[in-house]
């Protein structure tokens, strides 16, 4: 007997998936939560601006020919002496602050998303291995995790960043600053995922389908990533959202204290660091607006993370 499966077009599958998703509990919760909708809208706006800065930014930032020193320190447009060409004012070189924020956002978002992705990869893999094998490997990985938890994430990130710089030399750091900061933030956060995944993997490993897969002779990596991972992925997703907010703050903080992204390719934190030098002399808009942009982004990510945690938690249903 043969079973024929009607082959749906890609479009048909997509609409089917969208319709099913729309009817799900999760989508229902989402539609009923104005805070979650607003947070997602803000995040999407930020992502769009960061992806296409040349469309969103009112003025070019890196083209020195377009900068005019007579525009330097123009206050925000609604204040006396303001200019509507510079909505949030201009910096010490006559650069538009809003445009600088949008280009800075691009760096900040790229670094934090890449750091979280690396962190998830390290943490989930180690968590799966520790939970599945148990024994010596497990206790070694978890001992390292415990040891790292001794130190606040901020210190770990600063330390890794500093050590990578020290062992690489100053020139190297200028060139690979982005890479170093991504690694530093990723290494400060992997423990969260490893602990979550390890606990769940220990439970899931005892389930019959895992036993069946082992009896069928599936390879261990196949079992780990195709059978166990999908069943432990939901909490990882929630943790990753909350950790994204942490990573954004860490990047901004490292850049602010001068250990992060150099001013040649400024992130939000770098902008705030530069602007901080003008705070006492009264040109507050250089630092305050990038800071507010950062705060709104972190707040939106945290609100969305809170929503995901509650909506995906079966205990609260």
Partner 1 sequence: MTGFLAQRLGQALFVLIAVSALAFLMFHYIGDPVVAILGANSTGLQRDELRRQMGLDGPLIVQFFDYMGRMLVGEFGLSYRLGLPVSRVLLERMPATMELALVGMVIALAIGIPAGIYCALERRSAASRLVLGLSLLGISMPSFFMGMLLIFLFSVMLGWLPSFGRGETVNLGWWTTGLLTASGLKAIIMPAITIAVFQFAMILRLVRAEMLEVLRADFIRFARARGLSRRSVHLRHALKNTLVPLITIVGLQLGSIIGFAVVTETVFQWPGLGLLFLQSVAAADIPVLAAFLIFIALVFVTINLVVDLCYYVVDPRLRLADRSTGAA
Write out the residues near partner 1 by the rule CB under 8 A: 143, 146-147, 150-155, 158-159, 161-163, 165-167, 245, 249, 252-253, 256-259, 272, 276, 279-280, 282, 284, 287-288, 291, 294-295, 298-299, 302-303, 306
Cβ-based nearer residue to partner 1, 124 or 260: 260
d(CA 36, CA 43) in angstroms, rounded, equals: 11
| Choice between 102 and 268, CB closer to partner 1 | 268
As measured in angstroms, the least distance from the Cβ of 298 to partner 1 is 4
Q: Can you tell me whether residue 62 is helix, strand or coil? A: coil
Query: What is the smallest separation between the CB atom of 86 and partner 1, expressed in angstroms?
Result: 20
Of 211 and 299, nearer to partner 1 (C-beta) is 299
Rounded (5°) CA angle 131-136-140: 80
Closest CB 36 distance from partner 1, rounded Å: 13
DSSP 283: -
| Least Cβ distance, residue 305 to partner 1 (angstroms) | 10
Report the nearest approach of partner 1 to the CB of residue 283 (Å).
Answer: 11
Residue with Cβ nearer partner 1 (196 or 302): 302
Chain centroid to CA 15: how far?
Answer: 29
Q: Give, in order, the Cα–Cα distances in Å from 112 to each of 230, 242, 251.
A: 24, 12, 7
**Is-contact 131 202, C-beta < 8 A?**
yes
Question: Residue 211 CB, nearest distance to partner 1 (Å)?
Answer: 35
Residue 8 or 146: the one with the smaller Cβ distance to partner 1 is 146
Question: CA 219 to CA 214: how far, in whole Å?
Answer: 8
Rounded least distance, CB 299 to partner 1, Å:
4
At closest approach, how far in Å is the CB of 2 from partner 1? Answer: 55
CB closer to partner 1, 236 vs 298: 298
Collapsing DSSP to helix, strand or coil, 96 comes out as strand
With beta carbons less than 8 A apart as the criterion, state whether 128 and 120 touch: no
Instruction: Say how far apart CA 50 and CA 6 lie, in whole Å.
Output: 42
Question: Which residues have C-beta within 8 Å of that of residue 152, sequence separation ≥ 6?
Answer: none
- Is residue 296 a contact partner of residue 42, using CB atoms and an 8 Å limit? yes
Nearest alpha-carbon partner for 232 in 212, 189, 202 = 202
Number of Cβ within a 10 Å radius of residue 165: 18
Please state, in angstroms and rounded to a whole number, the distance separating the CA atoms of residues 193 and 119.
Answer: 8
**For partner 1, the closer CB: 282 or 314:** 282
Please give the structure tokens belonging to residue 177: 């600053």
Closer to partner 1 by Cβ: residue 223 or 303: 303
């Amino acid at each position: 007997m043969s079973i024929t499966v009607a082959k749906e077009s890609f479009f048909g599958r997509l609409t089917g998936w969208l319709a099913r998703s729309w009817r799900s509990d999760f989508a229902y919760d989402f539609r009923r939560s104005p805070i979650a909708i607003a947070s997602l809208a803000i995040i999407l706006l930020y992502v769009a601006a960061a992806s296409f800065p040349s469309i969103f930014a009112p003025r070019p930032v890196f083209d020195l020919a377009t900068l005019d020193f007579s525009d330097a320190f123009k206050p925000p447009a609604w204040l006396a002496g303001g200019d509507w060409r510079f909505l949030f004012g201009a910096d010490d070189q006559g650069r538009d602050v809003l445009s600088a924020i949008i280009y800075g956002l691009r760096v900040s978002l790229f670094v934090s998303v890449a750091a979280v992705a690396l962190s998830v990869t390290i943490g989930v893999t180690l968590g799966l291995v520790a939970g599945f094998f148990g024994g010596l490997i497990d206790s070694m990985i978890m001992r390292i995790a415990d040891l790292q938890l001794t130190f606040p994430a901020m210190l770990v990130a600063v330390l890794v960043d500093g050590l990578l710089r020290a062992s690489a030399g100053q020139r190297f750091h200028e060139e690979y600053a982005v890479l170093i900061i991504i690694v530093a933030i990723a290494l400060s956060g992997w423990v969260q995922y490893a602990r979550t995944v390890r606990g769940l993997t220990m439970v899931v490993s005892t389930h019959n389908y895992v036993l069946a897969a082992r009896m069928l002779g599936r390879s261990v990596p196949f079992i780990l990533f195709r059978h166990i991972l999908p069943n432990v992925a939901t909490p990882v997703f929630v943790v990753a959202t909350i950790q994204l907010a942490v990573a954004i703050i860490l990047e901004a903080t490292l850049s602010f204290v001068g250990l992060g992204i150099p001013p040649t390719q400024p992130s939000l934190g770098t902008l705030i660091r530069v602007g901080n030098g003008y705070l006492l002399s009264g040109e507050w808009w250089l630092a305050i607006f990038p800071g507010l942009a950062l705060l709104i982004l972190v707040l939106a990510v945290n609100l969305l993370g809170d929503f995901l945690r509650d909506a995906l938690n079966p205990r609260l249903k």
